[in-house]
Structures are given as C-alpha cells and as structure tokens.
Amino acid sequence: MNPRKIKSALISVFNKEGLAPIIKLLDKNDIKIFSTGGTQKFIEEMGIEVTPVENVTDYPSILGGRVKTLHPKIFGGILFRRELVDDEKQVIEFEIPNLDLVIVDLYPFEATVASGASDEDIIEKIDIGGISLIRAAAKNFKDVVIISSKNEYDLLEIILRDKQACTTINERKMLAVHAFDNTSHYDTAIFNYFAGEETKRFKKSIKNFQVLRYGENPHQQGVFYGDFDEMFDKLNGKELSYNNLVDVDAAIALIDEFEETTFAILKHTNACGVASANSPKIAYLNALACDPVSAFGGVIITNREIDADTAEELNKLFFEVLIAPSFNSEASQILCGKKNRILLKRKPTLVPNKLYKTLLNGVIEQDKDNKTETLEDLKVVTLLSPSEAEKKALLFANKIVKHTKSNTIVFANENRLIASGVGQTSRVDALRQAIEKANSFGFTVAGSAMASDAFFPFPDCVELAAAAGVKAILQPGGSIKDQDSIDACNKLGVAMVTTGIRHFKH
C-alpha cells in the first residue's frame, strides 16, 4: 500500500475555520510545522511551535504578500521524489526540508466576484502561491499528502488521530484528485470572469452533484450536477428522479410567467392544466379540470402559499411532486401524510440565463427564452380586432405555448388553459389533438383564444379553428404565405394578431 508517515507539514490557509483541532493533532504527533503570515500567527497564538517559511527561504513576504512561498526550497521540499537518489542528494546539498503534508486553501475568488467587489479587489483574490503549492503536492501524491479544502479536515483528523499519521497511496491519490478538482474549478471561475458572457469557449465547472436512482429509464445511470438545496427545501418524500428533475425545471420556467395566483400541472414537461384565480384552491381546481387524467402522477406547482383548504383538495390526487413558495402548518401536516410524495419549498434563487445541451460530439448553448409578450407586442393584422378580454386570453395562451413542445396549439380563456395539442409533427395535427382533447373533457373551444408557437404556412389551421368556434388567434407570423391565413380570418370573421416572436421548444 506504499504507506507514508507524516513527519512535517506546511500550512497556509485563508480560512482558519476548523484548523485548530488539526494543529493540535499535528503537535501531538510531533510533526514539524512550517507556516507563514496569518496562519503562522494563528498557530503561535495557540502556543504551538511553528517554523516561519522565511527562516527556510531567507526571504520575507514581499510585494504586499503576493510572494510568500514561491521559492525552490519550498517547492523542492514538496516535489522531492523520495525514492530517487539524485533527488535526495540535491535536497541535502541545498538544505531543503522534506514537506510530507501540505494544508493550503485558495483565496475566495468566486465569493469576491459574487459580492460585487471592484476589479482591483477581485484580481487580488486570484491565488498564485496557494494554487501552485496545491498542484505541486498533488503531482507528488506518491510521497505527499495534500489537503486543499477544509472539507478534507475530517479525513485528516482520522489519519492523525487513529492511524499514527500514516497514509496509504490510495488515500493520497484520492486527496490529489480532490485537489485537482479544486484547482480546475478555481481556474474555470477565473477564466469565465475575464472572458465574460461573450466567450466562445465552453468552460463550466459545477462541484455539487447528486447521484440519481437512475436516468430517464431504469437501465440508464443518472447524476444531477448542481446545488439543489440552494433552490429548494425538500419537506417530504423520496429522492427525486431524473424525470422528476426535468419536470421540476419545466414547472419553474412556466410558473415564472405568472404574477397572479396560478397553479400549473405538468406531465413530461408539458402543461396539462394551468389556471389563475383569486384563491389557490380555485386556481388548483380549475387547473385540474383541464385534464384530470394526465394530472395523475404529475408535477404540480404554484406561486402562492399552500393553505389547508387547497391541501385537502391536493391530497385527493396522486402526484409525484408539489412545489410552492411556502406551506402553512396545517397544509404540511395534510400533505406529508404520504411518505413518498415529494414536497418542495422553493427559495428565491436566480436560475441561469444560458441553456446547454449535449449534441453529437459536443455541446450547444443558447440564451434562455426570456421574451414574454405583452399587449404592446400584439399587432392586429385582420379587419376584426380582438376584444380586450380576447387579448388577455391570447397572452395567457401564449405563455403556455412558450413552454410546450413543438408543434403546439393552445386554447385558453383569460385565466385558464382549455386544451393543447403538443409535440406533433404538423401544426394542423396539434390543432386537431387540442380540439379532441377539449371535447373529451366536456369543454368547447368555441369562443376561446388560440395561440400557436410558429407561423401558419397554410390557411388550414385557421379554417379548422374557425369551424370549431374560435374567435381570436395569435401567431408569430413570418411565413411568405401569411396573407393566406389573414384572408381566411377575414372571410371567417376571426381576429388575428401577430407578435413577430416564435417560441419553438424541442
């Protein structure tokens, strides 16, 4: 196992939290400690003997602390290959101390950027000596232990307390992997800061991860990279699956379109129910009525607190996930009665404005679709203008269109989804599907507003919609045959508006 006993340690950390117990164990094991700057002072104040790095290098800390440990006697002590005779001769010749353990962290660059600090302050938090020491120790893991984060202090305590300060090659290699993980993440953050939003390099680093039960299907492995706990408090239920996470992401994107009290129910990322009302209970019941069949086993989200009355209604339905900004105590008690039901309390966290997807042998990136149309975006292109109520219905439908798989057609009134056709290979098929679905649940699309994710290349969609009683249509426009659909609307007494904005979703 190639064991190595720690006999000496170099310590230089920005964050002293959790360091004191380590120092005490090093002293208890008679391990010689080298340090500098604030860390040296911290150790001295504990009453423990420490050798200043300056005594080894014969150089003080210079340039305002920018150069402290960058010296051959320090790096030689780390990179010295113990099994090589020539290395050992040079170490003796130049009086280089063996350094068996390196405890170094990095300046908080990301936290400094996030704080809104000045460029000058941010640049001063680009670590030079620390990251070099970490890389050197990790490179020579056959002989040296590298602790590059306080997250490894627990393991180091076990080594010092229970293993007589001896490490195995596997332990040292594992810590080297952690070290290179930390340095690569750090360098990525620095690159992205300097390059800004316009960079044409794909460099992303996410340290948090969660191994999932499986991927999209049980025979596929799955991992979520991200800090789920930053966005949600999980109040109840089993671990989220890959498909749960995909639906939760879609649910968040959809509900953020609405300011009024709204409930949405999703299945396979598509909305099967959306409604706004004066109370959460009514909004939920109206959303459920859109398609109670598809709602079974779905993901439900709202932008208001869940109260007891709403919870009683929700409790009648089997669903996978419920997301809300808060749950009152009675609601929590009602809904937590089923152990596998996932309840998520959403935190006010921003989500990225860039979207990524693996494709072929690479990754594609695009801006998030942040365009939400308003009344000012509606251009009336027909002789008949939609009423104010119809305009509101068109905008409501269009919010749902934006988050529905293409090709899609959505029917809605001012505050409620009536039916949608989703993910069809032709728009006219999506239209037929939506009409059929509305009819199957006892709704009619007559008098409703209709929205399409893209333009109409032919007038067939207008003709079918008019025959079903639709009175107002929204579409982006942009077809060379737009006039054919406009003429059909004028002939059939249907109002049409265009927005100039397409909302494909694949």
Residue 218 has pLDDT above 90, yes or no: yes
Please tell me the number of Cα atoms within 13 Å of 401 on its side-chain side. Answer: 34
Choosing from 139, 204, 234, 392, which is the catalytic residue?
139
> pLDDT digit string (tens) for 332-351?
999 998 999 999 999 998 88
* 268 among known catalytic residues: yes
> pLDDT digit string (tens) for 180-216?
999 999 999 999 999 887 778 888 899 899 999 899 9
374 strand-pairing partners: none
C-alpha to C-alpha distance for 450 and 147, rounded to whole angstroms = 61
Residue 308 has pLDDT above 60, yes or no: yes
Q: 467 CB contacts (<8 Å, ≥6 apart)?
A: none
C-alpha to C-alpha distance for 87 and 2, rounded to whole angstroms = 19
474 φ, ψ to 5°?
-120, 135
Average pLDDT taken over every residue of the chain = 93
Closest by CA position to 343, among listed 335, 352, 351:
335
> pLDDT digit string (tens) for 152-190?
999 999 999 999 999 999 999 999 999 999 999 999 999
384 φ, ψ to 5°?
-95, 130
Closest by CA position to 10, among listed 78, 65, 112:
78
Closest by CA position to 265, among listed 275, 277, 273, 257:
273
Mean per-residue pLDDT for 53-62? Answer: 80
Extract long-range pairs of 27-31: CB within 8 Å, 24+ residues apart: 28/160, 29/160, 29/164, 29/165, 31/6, 31/7, 31/101, 31/165
Count Cβ atoms within 10 A of the Cβ of residue 336 and give its class: 0-12 exposed, 13-18 middle, 19 or more buried: middle
- Give the pair of three-digit tokens for residue 413: 């009134």
> pLDDT digit string (tens) for 249-268?
999 999 999 999 999 999 99
Per-residue pLDDT at 361: 93
> pLDDT digit string (tens) for 86-126?
988 988 988 889 999 999 999 999 999 999 999 889 999 99
* 503 among known catalytic residues: no
Q: 173 CB contacts (<8 Å, ≥6 apart)?
A: 141
The percentage of the chain sitting over the pLDDT mark of 70, rounded to a whole number, equals 100
- Give the pair of three-digit tokens for residue 157: 């305590």
- Dihedral sign, Cα of residue 382, residue 384, residue 385, residue 388: negative
AA identity, residue 141? F
Per-residue pLDDT at 201: 84
Residue 1 has pLDDT above 80, yes or no: no
Per-residue pLDDT at 175: 96
Mean per-residue pLDDT for 295-315? Answer: 97
C-alpha to C-alpha distance for 116 and 127, rounded to whole angstroms = 18
- Give the pair of three-digit tokens for residue 506: 């694949």
Choosing from 204, 234, 268, 392, which is the catalytic residue?
268
Mean per-residue pLDDT for 432-445? Answer: 94
Count Cβ atoms within 10 A of the Cβ of residue 221 and give its class: 0-12 exposed, 13-18 middle, 19 or more buried: exposed
| Whole-prediction pTM | 0.86
The torsion angle over the Cα atoms of residues 265, 268, 271 and 277, rounded to 10 degrees, is 10
